[in-house]
Amino acid sequence: MSTTVTARQGTSPEAAGPRAFGNRQHLVDAGAILLLGLVASYGFRDTFNGWTFLLAAGAGFVIGILLAHLSTLLARPVVVLAVLVVAAFFLLGGAVALHADGVVASLPLPDTLAELADQAVHGWKDLLTTRAPIDGGPLLTLPYLMGLVAGSCGMALASRTRSAIWPLLAPVAYLAAVILLGIQWPTRLITLGLVFAVLSVSWIAVRAGRLNRRVIQGGPSWRRRGAAVLLVGAAASAAPMVGPMLPGADSHDRMVLRAHITPPFDVGQYPSPLAGFRRYTKGYRVPGGDKDAKLYDRELMRVDGDLPEGTRLRFAALDDYTGTAWGASNEAPDVTGPDGQFQRVGTAIRDEGPGREVTATVTLADDYDGVWVPTPGAVDELEFKGAGADEKTKSFRYNLATDTGVLPQGLHGGDSYTFSAHVAGEEDRLTADTVPSGQSLSTDASGAPFGPVAQRWGGDGEGVKQLLAIAKHMDEEGYYTDGGAEGEAFYEAGHSVKRLSGFTADADGQTAGNDEQYAATLALLGTQIGLPVRVVMGAIVPDGGVVKGKDVHAWVEVKDSSGTWRELPYDAFLPPYNRPPDQSPPSQQQLKSGTIIPPAAPVRPPSSAGDPLATDDNRRGNQEGDDGWLTLPAWLVAVLTYVGAPLLLVALLLGAVITAKSVRRKRRRTRGAPGARLTAAWREVLDQARDVGHLVHGRRTRREQAAQIGLPTAAALARSADRHVFGAVEPTDDDAASYWTEVDAIRVELASGLTRWQRLRAAVSPTSFRPLPTPEPEVGA
């Protein structure tokens, strides 16, 4: 007669066996966790570009749920589940998150495993320092990993505890992580929160109904269902009223990590491109006679697409004057927050902006070589082409406030990229009716007499009108020079305070220079009269789209009261090319015979480094400035090296013990005749008893060994085994299967009184691999 072992009332599901709630209840829990995970994952809708993030997160939840359910069915401890989750992350991560890189990346090869490990450690930095929406790519590893962990934890709690609340912790923690890693103002947030709340309350009601089923077992089932419906309805009705009052409901108060992280990128390491402007000019006197450095008639890039003739391709917007040069600032002075910084961006940069929409492809010639990425106006999307496109996309940075793009490793001849953007028209240019924003950008021009110059050249006007008067004075009274021909007076390059003081002098000198001096001076004078002004250097796209050095210019922009930057084109302040300065000796301030490079700067030298035409000797390395952002402290490296490695070895050994026990149990259950399987099943009982701490001797009968175990069910199993083994009738396969079912139950019963730590210790105990101890002979025997 077989013995059926049942769980005691009040024990945990671990004691009740893996089928304590039944298959239907497991399916309900799994479905609830998956739905909650997908709803929470929708919070990434504005963080990622496209829907691949939802597929990655969903795959993670499904795999995690299956692993947790399998671990519960096999009565494995949590440590086994953790090992399975780590293995699934690496074995399946390539197919889930890296499949876009090709078939090879989907396979668990060394390169794939290394990429997954790198994304698991460093991907969070890239996610938080890249402007949303982000292209999926390797960063899909993060929602996959989050879903895998949340799904396994949620299902493990649901199947191993009877609590109605505890299993909800995993989906709630996942939702919190999505919010923290997301953006400040995601769309449809209220709807997402409402759906998540309704699903959560519904799941809690279902699980609570299981716990109360014994209490109300005699009542009609429609009462329980009606109560659940009323509870869910009440929660759904209250959510819209209570939700806005909860902490963090206001998007302005909601805590997100990217709002508190400043991307560690220093654009100041790339000196002003305006300092190298003279190389593009016709009259550039080449140092050392290197004619290749003179780019006036040389091709820089080719533009194909619907970009209109005359469109400005911006190299860089320069909004920071240090007293030596106009340069790009790390954070736009008129904008606070990430939009004023050079952020990593994906292919999609922003929503549509004002102006006409254009799409074009830029292919760089050999004579363009630098970090500044030419773009027209407000860029909506930008995608690099050709070799190294993925690496360029990962490192490309864009400042939305200044419409300036930087590629730290630099652009070179043959590189190509496609963009869609919105460009301003003639109606967006600066006019006398423009109302400025009233916020002047700070500059460092101490010691320069620019205030009187603004009054002298601009007259008694105010604001924009005075600036336009200054521009008119420059156009009508100034002289154009690229430095001077051989045998003529030489006018130095640069736009430092010293150079521009001579440029604006009213003594015997002349106002002579090119775009560099005129644009730099006009912007400085604009700040002196209280206007928000910046210098922009770029190229004017000619008919045919082939941009040469002659097409490169510098112009000025002023911010109006609506926040729009309005252009003052170069031809509004630059004198005609055919008006050279008089050849009478210029003042000593202007005359620097043979001097080409501006004076040394105390803050940022206007050298050619970082300029599109930088020489190899001056060009900086191709390393980004943020490589060391997550550099681990030396003490932590030492801990990981001398403590982490031994711990990893111990974990591998413990995992090997658990695996060996599982393999042994499977072999005992499936190998041999039914009688042999029955005998092996009793050995499994003895091994489990020894692992949990019972002393069991060898060379004893089964009934004597059962007495040492001390459980009534053990004695019943011993008698059943003796009957099958020594009986007249050979046991059948059904007898063996039934006996193994009873063995599974007593294994759970043996562990039911243990703490979780004791269960873990029993799972990794090697005691059962040693032979059964022989009892000591009795004295006098």
Lowest mean pLDDT among 66-70, 418-422, 648-652: 648-652
Percent with pLDDT over 90 in the chain: 21
Percent helix, strand and coil across the chain, each to the nearest 5: 50, 15, 40
Asked if residue 379 has pLDDT above 60, the reply is: yes
Nearest in space to 18 (alpha carbons), one of 80, 77, 61, 86: 77
Nearest in space to 272 (alpha carbons), one of 754, 598, 742, 696: 598
CA distance 773 to 623: 65
Contacts of 432 (CB under 8 A, 6+ apart): 464, 465, 468
Residue 751 has what pLDDT?
86
Asked if residue 483 has pLDDT above 90, the reply is: no
Q: What is the mean pLDDT of residues 549-565?
A: 91
Q: What is the mean pLDDT of residues 72-79?
A: 83
Query: Helical H runs in 279-434?
Result: 389-395
Residue 289 — very low, low, confident or very high, per pLDDT cuts 50/70/90? low
Residue 649 has what pLDDT?
65
pLDDT in tens, 81-95: 988 899 889 888 888
> What is the rounded average pLDDT for all residues in the chain?
78
Residue 260 has what pLDDT?
59
Residue 778 — very low, low, confident or very high, per pLDDT cuts 50/70/90? low
Decide if 154 contacts 197 (C-beta within 8 A). Answer: no
Residue 8 has what pLDDT?
36
In eight-state DSSP terms, residue 408 is E
CA distance 759 to 685: 16
The two structure tokens encoding residue 750: 């043996």
pTM over 0.95: no
Give buried/exposed letters for 28-65 (b at 16+ CB in 10 A, else e).
Answer: bbbebbbbbbbbbbbbbbbbbbeebbbbbbbbbbbbbb
Contacts of 414 (CB under 8 A, 6+ apart): 363, 364, 366, 386
Q: What is the mean pLDDT of residues 651-672?
A: 86
Residue 643 has what pLDDT?
57
In eight-state DSSP terms, residue 773 is P
C-alpha distance from residue 272 to each of 379, 392, 480, 556 (Å): 22, 22, 22, 15
Asked if residue 739 has pLDDT above 50, the reply is: yes
Decide if 740 contacts 688 (C-beta within 8 A). Answer: no
Residue 217 has what pLDDT?
44
**Cβ neighbours, 10 Å, residue 414:** 11
Residue 219 has what pLDDT?
44
Contacts of 180 (CB under 8 A, 6+ apart): 255, 256, 257
Percent with pLDDT over 70 in the chain: 75
Q: What's the sign of the alpha-carbon dihedral 182, 187, 191, 195?
A: negative
Task: Give me the long-range contacts of 686-691 (CB less than 8 A, separation at least 24).
Answer: 686/768, 686/772, 687/661, 687/768, 688/746, 688/747, 688/750, 688/751, 688/762, 688/768, 689/714, 689/750, 690/767, 690/768, 690/772, 691/762, 691/763, 691/765, 691/767, 691/768
**Stretch (H or E) spanning 119:** helix 110-129
Q: What is the mean pLDDT of residues 14-18?
A: 39
Asked if residue 520 has pLDDT above 90, the reply is: yes
Asked if residue 518 has pLDDT above 90, the reply is: yes
**Cβ neighbours, 10 Å, residue 496:** 23
Nearest in space to 188 (alpha carbons), one of 352, 348, 43, 41: 43
Residue 637 — very low, low, confident or very high, per pLDDT cuts 50/70/90? low
Decide if 686 contacts 714 (C-beta within 8 A). Answer: no
Decide if 102 contacts 190 (C-beta within 8 A). Answer: no
CA distance 324 to 315: 19
189: left (phi over 0), alpha (psi -120 to 50) or beta: alpha
The two structure tokens encoding residue 324: 């030596």
The listed range with the strongest mean pLDDT (115-124, 215-224, 639-648) is 115-124
For residue 138, how far is the Cα from the chain centroid? 10
CA distance 219 to 754: 36
Contacts of 250 (CB under 8 A, 6+ apart): 244
Q: What is the mean pLDDT of residues 525-550?
A: 92
CA distance 223 to 749: 35
Angle of CA points 771, 773, 774, to nearest 5°: 125
CA distance 294 to 286: 7
CA distance 193 to 39: 9
Residue 139 has what pLDDT?
84
Query: Helical H runs in 441-578?
Result: 450-458, 463-477, 497-503, 515-528
Contacts of 93 (CB under 8 A, 6+ apart): 112, 116, 141, 144, 145
CA distance 503 to 495: 9
Q: What is the mean pLDDT of residues 141-147?
A: 91
Residue 547 has what pLDDT?
95
The two structure tokens encoding residue 387: 């070799």
Asked if residue 66 has pLDDT above 70, the reply is: yes
pLDDT in tens, 422-458: 888 777 888 888 888 866 665 655 445 677 888 888 8
CA distance 279 to 77: 71
Asked if residue 129 has pLDDT above 80, the reply is: no
In eight-state DSSP terms, residue 644 is I
Asked if residue 338 has pLDDT above 80, the reply is: no
pLDDT in tens, 347-375: 888 766 677 889 999 999 999 988 999 99
CA distance 249 to 657: 49
Residue 647 has what pLDDT?
67
Asked if residue 6 has pLDDT above 70, the reply is: no
Residue 213 has what pLDDT?
53
Residue 15 has what pLDDT?
38
- What residues are paired with 650 via a beta bridge? none
Residue 291 has what pLDDT?
62
- Upstream peptide bond of 374 is cis (omega within 30 degrees of 0): no
Q: Residue 67, CB half-sphere, CA atoms under 13 Å: how many?
A: 28
Asked if residue 11 has pLDDT above 60, the reply is: no
C-alpha distance from residue 663 to each of 658, 659, 666, 777 (Å): 9, 6, 5, 35
The listed range with the strongest mean pLDDT (342-346, 506-510, 544-548) is 544-548
**Cβ neighbours, 10 Å, residue 695:** 10
Asked if residue 553 has pLDDT above 90, the reply is: yes
Q: What is the mean pLDDT of residues 47-52?
A: 83
CA distance 537 to 370: 14
Asked if residue 613 has pLDDT above 50, the reply is: no
Residue 628 has what pLDDT?
43
Residue 259 has what pLDDT?
58
Asked if residue 152 has pLDDT above 80, the reply is: yes
**Cβ neighbours, 10 Å, residue 687:** 21
Residue 377 — very low, low, confident or very high, per pLDDT cuts 50/70/90? confident
Residue 485 has what pLDDT?
66
- What residues are paired with 548 via a beta bridge? 299
Angle of CA points 251, 626, 621, to nearest 5°: 145
Residue 134 has what pLDDT?
76
Residue 554 DSSP SS3: strand
CA distance 363 to 385: 9
Asked if residue 79 has pLDDT above 70, the reply is: yes
Asked if residue 708 has pLDDT above 80, the reply is: yes
Angle of CA points 171, 174, 176, to nearest 5°: 115
CA distance 328 to 173: 41
Q: Residue 377, CB half-sphere, CA atoms under 13 Å: how many?
A: 28
Q: What's the sign of the alpha-carbon dihedral 118, 120, 123, 124?
A: negative
